[in-house]
């Protein structure tokens, strides 16, 4: 089993990269999606969150009120730690389960928090997609219609570009257009297929 972790800051191009690899038949596990699944109604984690923070973190229909929870944990490191200690092991277990089920030549784990959590311990190769802050900002604004201030706050809370780059086995430069990104992704895909086949031969 050869696992490739893909990370990058907000609007750096993770989805653009993972969509291209998925189209080539690579199984993509999205850590953000898993993080939403573990707090769906009926999941034990949602009940724990309700017990801890009260009914105000639920919507009228019983789903997690994300913006409410986000504002609570943004204001308190203690509460943030409590939430992370609850969710991170559950997210990790589910990712592990999906990795075990994967049948593709290698599996891609896409995670904005790959390097900040112990998720990086699950991967054989770390890919960072990299763009400068002004590109992250303008592309995210075009995509989400969110304010510059909101995006800047997220950028400030994320790992610095330099630190992220220093942890990469491969850096994809997304400072150009999508065609330039795709050419790098295609080349990387060939390298990863070879690395995965070497790994399976050595087992
Ligand atoms: P997030 O972490 O916010 O989900 P992301 O890392 O997945 O973001 P993408 O959604 O892939 O980033 O890219 C952000 C936006 O920028 C998208 O609308 C995407 O189509 C666009 N984009 C990505 N790369 C380029 C590029 N090289 N040139 C122009 N637009 C791009």
> pLDDT value at position 102?
97
User: Mean pLDDT over residues 72-100, rounded?
Assistant: 95
pTM here is 0.94
Percentage of the chain surpassing pLDDT 90? 90
CA distances from 189 to 26, 92, 96 (A): 9, 25, 22
Tokens 């891609």 belong to residue: 108
> pLDDT value at position 72?
93
Best residue among 13, 14, 151 to mutate for probing ligand 1, ranked by most atoms within 8 Å of CB: 13
Q: Which domains does the chain have, with CATH numbers?
A: 3-202 (3.40.50.300)
Q: Are 131 and 174 in contact (CB under 8 A)?
A: yes
User: Mean pLDDT over residues 72-77, rounded?
Assistant: 90
Distance of CA 140 from the midpoint of ligand 1 (Å): 7
Residue 7 CA, distance from chain mean position: 6
Best residue among 16, 137, 151 to mutate for probing ligand 1, ranked by most atoms within 8 Å of CB: 16
Distance of CA 187 from the midpoint of ligand 1 (Å): 19
Segment 134-183, tens digit of pLDDT: 999 999 999 988 889 989 988 988 999 999 999 999 999 999 999 999 99
Q: What are phi and psi of 125, to 5 degrees?
A: -145, 130
Segment 116-139, tens digit of pLDDT: 999 999 999 999 999 999 999 999
């Amino acid at each position: 089993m050869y696992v490739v972790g893909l990370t990058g800051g907000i609007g750096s191009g993770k989805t653009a990269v993972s969509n291209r690899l998925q189209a080539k038949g690579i199984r993509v596990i999205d850590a953000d999606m898993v993080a939403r699944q573990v707090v769906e109604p009926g999941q034990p984690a949602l009940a724990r969150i309700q017990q801890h923070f009260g009914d105000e973190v639920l919507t009228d229909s019983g789903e997690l009120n994300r913006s409410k929870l986000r504002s609570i944990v943004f204001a308190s490191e203690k509460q943030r730690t409590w939430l992370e200690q609850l969710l991170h092991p559950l997210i990790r277990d589910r990712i592990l389960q999906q990795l075990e089920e994967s049948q593709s030549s290698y599996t891609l784990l896409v995670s904005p928090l790959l390097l900040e959590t112990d998720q990086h311990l699950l991967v054989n190769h770390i890919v960072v997609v990299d763009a400068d802050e002004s590109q992250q900002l303008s592309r995210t604004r075009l995509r989400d219609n969110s304010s510059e201030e909101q995006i800047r706050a997220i950028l400030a809370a994320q790992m610095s570009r330099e630190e992220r780059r220093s942890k990469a086995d491969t850096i994809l430069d997304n400072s150009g257009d999508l065609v330039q990104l795709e050419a790098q992704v295609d080349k990387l895909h060939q390298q990863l297929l070879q690395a995965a086949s070497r790994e399976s031969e050595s087992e």
